[in-house]
Chain A
């Protein structure tokens, strides 16, 4: 049965349906209600939600839970994610599945999500749902991808995703079989000469010293496989388009609406939405942009995803930014850009 729920609650429901049994977080708008939802729902599901003393500890707790083999998650707003960066890169090197939510203030965290601020070579799989309905699916898929690839997965949304109520029904989704977590340090592995050590350091139980080069090369090779396998996107009306509009997340919902309106009026405009921000769907975008006159990037920041768009299009068409910084005195990243008429006007302007 469908229920009218805010994105925060729907995401928590989806995480529980996916088997998430641990969450830790620290309140921060607009992420706070996700923490509230986990705190309310996890104990009844046999799980635990810990109110951490800061985001540093929140991700540490989720790391410990994930290392025992449990499905675990944490999250915050971009500022809190900034504090988590060291752990995110180290977790990736420890090959731990963890799901992390960034319910951000606008779209200014694209670089943080896709480049990161952590040390060394690492990549997060980044999923950017367009609405609550898709967030319910992608949240569950995030847990699956994290386990499949033994890599942290970041789900990025914003104030609108967190606080828009949509009618959704949350059911457990099947994504396929996964291997048993024989690597998990659940406490049962001692005393037989084959303990499970969950480490980022390139160590081998029983041997002294570390071999980081071997471990890091293997990680880089894994990230190449993820890049080849997991890029996702949505495209509409690209076959005859003169102008291709590229947008992600909540703002893409405005862009898609405006593109549909303009196409209905005869304009030759197409829509392309990366669903995975990493791996970025470069091959598909290059194909979609092969015959257009112009590519317009609509994002709610000073120009971040536009770098990835340019790298994908590689000069086949001029790439322009039609978004920009847009917020209001709340600082939560709402602002005048999140307005159908405004978005339509910017796309129509790029058509000329």
Chain B
């Protein structure tokens, strides 16, 4: 069987991305989300008033590519850093970039309180249901039955507990105004996710309060599936538990 190398489909780089060069795995969904964020900020004309707060995970390696002011946080702590930064720079667009290990495991308390306080920031959760950077270990969002390096027979509720569904947890909180879960498993999903991020940013610019956009992202390396099966696994396995859609807009819970 011959190795197939993905063909480069173009040289196009978002204006706010300093370089195309990074070390994330083939088939990873995280660079797609970075592209959406950077394109949107450029489109909205916010390059000179945006601050990104980046957590610790694979996506941390994307931070140096960002042509925006960036504050690097400790694992789990991005929502608090965003709180302090936004309070001092209320005119800025403040977003965090965190993985599921970062936001839902290590820093769950932070994001809940940041949402409840109604901090006027946008938290972006890259949810691939696994600790990708350590090589594929269970996180709080790992779905039942999912195999990881520390749930070798699949996540079993009796031994490992149940997954936390982040948007469903945050949406009922009073300070949260926009809560949505997107995915990047195909072009239509990417397009919907882009619209969610736009609505979150617009909500923040209107001063409405806390917004959360969760994006399901592929991690074929951490799931131990072939790269080309990543999008299908994401939509079929993770998407079945972490359902895509908007949960809250303009402070009102939406029927699903």
Contacts and interface: CB of A to CB of B under 8 A. Distances in A.
B229 interface: no
Nearest to B49: A187
A201 B89 contact: no
A50 B83 contact: yes
Nearest first, the 8 A-B pairs at minimum CB distance are A60-B80, A64-B84, A191-B47, A64-B81, A65-B84, A199-B72, A187-B92, A190-B68
Given A191-B48, A199-B72, A64 B64 contact: no
Given A90-B74, A208-B23, 5 more contacts: A60-B80, A70-B88, A72-B84, A187-B49, A197-B69
Interface string B50-68: 1101000000110111111
A57 B22 CA distance: 31
Contacts of A188: 48-49, 69
Nearest to A21: B88
A213 B96 CA distance: 27
Nearest to A187: B92
A72 to B, nearest CB: 7
B17 to A, nearest CB: 10
B47 A197 contact: no
Interface in B1-54: 15-16, 18-19, 21-23, 41-42, 47-51, 53
Contacts of B23: 208-209
B68 A195 contact: yes
Given A61-B80, A195-B67, A68 B88 contact: yes
24 contacts: A50-B83, A53-B110, A56-B109, A58-B80, A60-B73, A61-B83, A63-B71, A63-B84, A64-B81, A87-B74, A90-B74, A185-B51, A185-B69, A186-B51, A187-B92, A190-B50, A191-B47, A197-B63, A198-B72, A200-B72, A201-B72, A205-B18, A206-B19, A208-B22
Contacts of A190: 16, 41, 47-48, 50, 67-69
A205 B17 CA distance: 10
B64 A207 contact: yes
A185 B82 CA distance: 12
A46 to B, nearest CB: 10
Nearest to A204: B64
A14 interface: no
B89 A191 contact: no
Interface of B: 15-16, 18-19, 21-23, 41-42, 47-51, 53, 60-61, 63-74, 77, 79-89, 91-93, 109-110, 113, 117
Contacts of B89: 68, 186-187
Contacts of A56: 77, 80, 109-110
Contact of B69 (A22, A61, A72, A187): A187
A60 B71 CA distance: 11
Contacts of B18: 193, 195, 205-206
A70 B85 CA distance: 9
B239 to A, nearest CB: 31
Contacts of A21: 88
Given A61-B80, A187-B92, A198-B72, A67 B85 contact: yes
Contacts of A209: 23, 61
Contact of A187 (B19, B42, B48): B48
B82 A64 contact: yes
A107 B110 CA distance: 31
Interface in A50-84: 50, 52-54, 56-58, 60-70, 72
A126 interface: no
A125 B27 CA distance: 46
Most buried by A among B21, B49, B60, B72: B72
A69 B69 CA distance: 12
Contacts of B87: 22, 48, 50, 61, 65
A318 to B, nearest CB: 44
B71 A203 contact: no
A193 B80 CA distance: 27
Given A86-B74, A186-B69, A206 B47 contact: no
Nearest to B61: A208
A203 B16 contact: no
Interface string A233-265: 000000000000000000000000000000000
A201 B21 contact: no
A66 B67 CA distance: 20
A124 B213 CA distance: 37
B50 A208 contact: no
A48 B88 contact: yes
Nearest to A191: B47
A324 to B, nearest CB: 37
A72 B88 CA distance: 10
A60 B69 contact: no
Interface in A156-170: none
A137 to B, nearest CB: 26
B67 to A, nearest CB: 5
Contacts of B110: 53, 56-57, 60
A65 to B, nearest CB: 4
A208 B64 contact: yes
B19 A63 contact: no
A154 B133 CA distance: 34
Nearest to A57: B80
B77 A53 contact: no
Instruction: Output the residue of B15, B21, B60, B74 with the most chain A CB within 10 A.
Output: B74
B68 A208 contact: no
Contact of B51 (A54, A68, A193): A68
B6 to A, nearest CB: 19
